[in-house]
Structure 1
Amino acid sequence: MQVDFYHLTLRPLARALPQIAEKVLSGGARLLVVSGDADQRAALDRTLWTYSPGSFLPHGCAGDGGEAIQPVLIAGDTAAANGARMVAIVDGLWRDEALTFDRAFHLFDEEQVGAARAAWRGLADREGVERRYWKQTERGWEQAA
């Protein structure tokens, strides 16, 4: 199980998440996007429709129906109604349920650094968990740990 920590320093979530979702989909996988904040979920729904004029990211929101067919599903919890094996936690609050997926993306900003560090330390001794830390640079994402 792999957990990738993405520290958002130069670009906001609205720019980073679509890039991750595109890579997941291009690999033939599905993605569950988790946020406990209803306003953030609604904003991400709009973002995935409009982030780039030349792109289309098929997605839906939990509770709107048709969850099982959505390549990207935005939800308030880690119940992957779309059968996703990858999860993106975007509200900065680590959930151990993410460890039931094949891969987890934990995205956090400066306000959430303390909680992300605690999650990083908490996963250090977990058997079968590989942690990676990604930081933003002018050239894009670089693995730092």
Structure 2
Amino acid sequence: MARVDFYHLTRDSAEAALAMLAGKALGAGQRMMVVSADPAQRSAISRRLWEAPGFLANGEAGGEDDARQPVLIGDAPGAANAAAIVALADGQWRDEALDFDRALLLFNEATIADARSCWRALGQQEKVERHYWSQDSSGRWREGP
């Protein structure tokens, strides 16, 4: 069964949320693939991860060291680093995300309509477990509407 977590970005940027999420994943001994179609966003994510407390090592997909990267950042899902988790940072769902154990769809007000459509579509699939996360006014993530 695949798990899909929907992260509604109401306060933090995708880059800030990913620093927290990647930190938790790496702390649990897991690897992550981060996907965005936007090259500027991929660069911003990489910088934010390197600047995070204790820094979170990462690399751009397509390099010689893909397999060694704890966080791999690219424009399409792929598990060249043996990642179990994929984070879709640009709010665009890709069906290949279901090939991972866990998919994180980060979306904001600009991509909320697509996220809602995706929620409904994935609800029709028996082997998908969905979770919705939102931020409270202090920036803490909580599950549920």
TM-score, structure 2 length as denominator? 0.94
Q: Secondary structure at 1:112's aligned position in 2?
A: helix
In structure 2, C-alpha distance between the alignment counterparts of 1:95 and 1:42, rounded to whole Å: 20
Matching residue of 1:22: 23
Matching residue of 2:141: 141
Q: What whole-Å deviation, never above 9, does each CA across 1:107-130 have from its counterpart, x for those lacking one?
A: 011111000001101101111100
In structure 1, C-alpha distance between the alignment counterparts of 2:115 and 2:19, rounded to whole Å: 21
Matching residue of 2:68: 69
Q: Secondary structure at 1:107's aligned position in 2?
A: strand
Structure 2, unaligned stretches of length 5 or more?
none
1:40 offset after TM fit, Å?
Answer: 1.0
Matching residue of 2:6: 5
Identity %: 48
Q: Secondary structure at 1:135's aligned position in 2?
A: strand
Structure 1, unaligned stretches of length 5 or more?
none
Q: Secondary structure at 2:34's aligned position in 1?
A: strand
1:138 offset after TM fit, Å?
Answer: 2.6
Kindly tell me the number of residue pairs found equivalent between the two proteins. 143
Matching residue of 1:55: 54
Q: Secondary structure at 2:11's aligned position in 1?
A: coil
Alignment of 1:96-107 (within 5 A): 96-107=95-106
Alignment of 1:85-100 (within 5 A): 85-100=84-99
In structure 2, C-alpha distance between the alignment counterparts of 1:36 and 1:122, rounded to whole Å: 22
1:72 offset after TM fit, Å?
Answer: 0.4
1:79 offset after TM fit, Å?
Answer: 1.4
